[in-house]
C-alpha cells in the first residue's frame, strides 16, 4: 500500500491541531488518506485550520482540561466521521520560569493543560476504542522531560509526566488491542519557539544539536504518523525522540581547532 493510501478509511483526531506540530500531523494524516478532526480552543479557530487542510476535515472546539467538552467533541467526531482509529495529543502550553519564581497557580495551569488534559482526551477516546479492540494513540512529549533547560520547571515536569503517562496507557490498553506511544521532539521551528527563542538561545541550540539546526514540524509529524501506522503494529510503550541527536550528545569540540592547540603546546 502506498503512503497516499496508508490511512484510507481511518479516522484520526488531533488535539492542538490548529497550529504547529498538531497542524503538520493533521495535514500528513489527511495526505495519507485519513479522515481528520482537529480539536483546539475556540481562539485557535480549528474550523479554519481544518478548512485549510480539506473540505472533509472537521474542526472541533474544546478545552482539553474540560472532560465534558472533550466528550462532546469526540462524540461529534465519531458521528460525523466514524469511529476513531487514531489519536494524537498535541495540545499544550509553555511557560518560561524557574523553580524560584513560578507560582503554584502557574505551575498547576501548565500541568492542567499538558498532562491532565492529555489524560482526559486519551481516556475519552480509549473508552470508545476498547469496544472495537483496536486503536493507536501518540502523545506529544518533549526531550525537556528528561534533558532539562533552565527556566522550564513547569513545562519539564508536565512533559516528563506525558511520557510516563504514555507508558502507563500502553500497559493498561494493550489487552484491548490499543497501542500507545509518545514522541519527544527536541528544538523544532514553530511559531511558539520563534516567540521564545531569541538570538542567544537559537545560537546555543544550533551549537548543541549535532545536526546543527532546528527540526521542522513535518519531521515530527513523520515520526508520529509512522507510530500510528501498521508498520509500527508491534510498537507500544515507546518514546521516539526526534531531536537531531541532541540527547545523544555529550561534549563536542572542533577537532581542527583542537589539533592546532595541541600542535602549539
Q: Which helix (H) or strand (E) holds 179?
A: strand 178-185
Intra-chain end-to-end CA distance of the chain, in Å: 61
Please, which residues bridge with residue 15 across strands? 39, 89
Q: Which helix (H) or strand (E) holds 146?
A: none
CA angle 9/239/6 to nearest 5° reads 20
Contact between 184 and 240 under an 8 Å Cβ cutoff? The reply is yes
Please, which residues bridge with residue 13 across strands? 37, 87
Q: How far apart are CA 93 and CA 116, in angstroms?
A: 12
Give the burial class of 237: count Cβ atoms within 10 A of its Cβ; 0-12 exposed, 13-18 middle, 19 or more buried: middle
Catalytic residue among 155, 160, 214, 227: 155
**214 in active site:** no
Alpha carbon 66 to its chain's center: 19
- The three cell numbers of residue 191 are 511559531
Active site residues: 155
Amino acid at each position: 500500500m502506498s503512503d497516499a493510501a496508508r490511512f484510507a478509511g481511518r479516522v484520526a483526531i488531533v488535539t492542538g491541531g490548529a497550529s504547529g506540530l498538531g497542524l503538520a500531523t493533521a495535514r500528513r494524516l489527511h495526505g495519507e488518506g485519513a479522515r481528520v478532526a482537529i480539536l483546539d480552543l475556540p481562539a485557535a479557530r480549528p474550523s479554519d485550520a481544518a478548512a485549510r487542510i480539506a473540505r472533509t476535515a472537521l474542526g472541533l472546539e474544546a478545552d482539553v482540561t474540560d472532560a465534558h467538552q472533550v466528550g462532546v467533541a469526540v462524540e461529534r467526531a465519531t458521528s460525523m466521521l466514524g469511529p476513531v482509529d487514531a489519536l494524537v495529543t498535541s495540545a499544550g502550553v509553555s511557560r518560561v520560569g524557574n523553580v524560584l519564581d513560578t507560582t503554584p497557580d502557574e505551575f498547576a495551569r501548565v500541568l492542567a493543560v499538558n498532562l491532565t488534559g492529555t489524560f482526559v482526551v486519551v481516556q475519552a477516546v480509549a473508552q470508545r476504542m476498547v469496544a472495537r479492540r483496536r486503536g493507536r494513540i501518540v502523545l506529544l512529549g518533549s526531550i525537556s522531560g528528561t534533558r532539562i533547560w533552565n527556566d522550564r520547571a513547569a513545562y519539564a515536569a508536565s512533559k516528563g509526566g506525558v511520557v510516563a503517562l504514555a507508558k502507563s496507557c500502553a500497559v493498561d490498553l494493550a489487552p484491548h488491542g490499543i497501542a500507545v506511544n509518545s514522541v519527544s521532539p527536541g528544538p523544532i521551528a514553530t511559531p511558539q519557539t520563534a516567540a521564545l527563542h531569541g538570538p542567544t538561545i537559537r545560537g546555543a541550540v544550533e551549537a548543541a544539536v549535532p545536526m546543527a539546526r532546528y527540526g521542522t514540524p513535518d519531521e515530527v509529524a513523520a515520526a508520529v504518523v509512522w507510530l500510528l501506522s501498521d508498520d509500527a503494529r508491534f510498537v507500544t510503550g515507546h518514546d521516539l525522540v526526534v531531536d537531531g541527536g541532541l540527547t545523544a550528545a555529550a561534549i563536542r569540540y572542533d577537532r581542527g581547532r583542537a589539533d592546532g592547540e595541541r600542535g602549539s603546546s
